[in-house]
Amino acid sequence: MKTTIDKLFKETTLSRDEFLYLLNNMDGDSLTYLRDKANERRVQEYGKAVYTRGLIEFTNHCIQNCVYCGIRYDNKNADRYRLSLEEILDCCKLGYKLGYRTFVLQGGEDPYYSDERIVDLVKSIKKTFPECALTLSLGEKNFSSLKQYYEAGADRYLLRHETASPTIYNKYHPNMCLQSRKKCLWDLKKIGFQVGAGFLVGLPGQSNEDYVEDLLFLKKLQPEMVGIGPFIAHENTPLEGASNGSITQVVTLLAIVRLMLPKVLLPATTALGSIDPTGREQGIKFGANVVMPNLSPTSVREKYALYDGKICVGDEAAECRQCIEGKVRNIGYSLDMSRGDHKNWRRL
């Protein structure tokens, strides 16, 4: 095992069989070794800084029906909301005062936010906060829409591929297609965005073979950011009662991605903190270097319920910032509130 981990550390890639060997044979000692190598690599690349993004969940309307997702179209129990331009700007203003220099606008696929509205939103935020980075996470869009958002000033785009296994993808994404999701990621790269791909861990039926497909796809795409989080069941979805993804499996994959893409921006996700109170700290120890505290108004927090047991739903933005700062400091790292761009990225 150590030889394979050393090879990944040195060469930043492995064959399909070697990745599978790593995932199938990870025991306690090997996991500690993997963690230490991943941490060594992240310290080499980014020191002990943990970049901080302010997350604004601006709409929970969605026309898609991802089977695992709590805000899917068919969940008629979801209490739907949209934030206005003014409300979104207020979240940014509060975030700016708290020190944030990156804002992430995330929502369901909501046709109310036409290209024109998104472009207005991006221009207003960039005009008010010219030194801040803006990340969008709005689901799949066509090339021309994405180009308009980039030209309006958006810097980054998060679109997890969710799973690179066509069978698993088709099972959980009715009326969607893995090829078009992948095409969207390639379009984003072509346009010049810092691109975030990523996948869920622990969906019923997902296997180590499927995670190897995820790793090989990421190696090929070379995204600037990778979001990896555990699947967590939501009571008002067809996956109610299913087992959640395991923290060990998530941190193993985080560490492998750190070694495979040494400069990647890798969040310790809220979902990881939701399956285990020390989840985000563990993620950081295994190579993650980004956290995304919530800046959404507390009045809508509970409504953006992707899964059951989501943490921080009742906390004010200032409390979230303080809480995460304490957690990061306790394990010997420090929050970095700068834009935190990927080292190789320059706006085209």
Contacting residues for 16 by C-beta, under 8 A, at least 6 apart: 212, 216
Residue 158 or 256 with smaller CB distance to ligand FES:
158
Query: Could you say whether residue 71 binds ligand FES (CB under 6 A)?
Result: yes
Residue 286 partner contact from ligand SAM, ligand FES, none using kind-dependent CB cut-offs of 5 to 8 Å: none
Binding residues: 62, 66, 69, 137, 162, 181
Residue 110 or 214 with smaller CB distance to ligand FES:
110
Residue 232 partner contact from ligand FES, ligand SAM, none using kind-dependent CB cut-offs of 5 to 8 Å: ligand SAM
* Count of residues making up the chain: 348
Out of 95, 108, 267, 273, the residue judged to bind ligand FES by CB under 6 A: 108
Residue 196 partner contact from ligand FES, ligand SAM, none using kind-dependent CB cut-offs of 5 to 8 Å: none
Q: What are phi and psi of 237, to 5 degrees?
A: -130, 165
**Shortest distance, CB of residue 271 to ligand FES, whole angstroms?**
13
Out of 51, 68, 129, 286, the residue judged to bind ligand SAM by CB under 6 A: 68
Contact between 168 and 203 under an 8 Å Cβ cutoff? The reply is: yes
Residue 41 or 72 with smaller CB distance to ligand FES:
72
Q: Is 287 left (phi over 0), alpha (psi -120 to 50) or beta?
A: left
Segment 267 to 306, residues that bind ligand SAM, using CB under 6 A: 271, 306
Segment 128 to 167, residues that bind ligand SAM, using CB under 6 A: 137, 139, 159-160, 162
Residue 326's CB is within 10 A of a number of other CB atoms, namely: 10
Residue 95 or 267 with smaller CB distance to ligand SAM:
267
Contacting residues for 278 by C-beta, under 8 A, at least 6 apart: none
Residue 162 or 281 with smaller CB distance to ligand SAM:
162
Helix pair 208-221, 16-24: axis angle to 10 deg: 130
Residue 105 CA: distances (Å) to CA of 58, 88, 125, 292, 338: 7, 9, 11, 11, 18
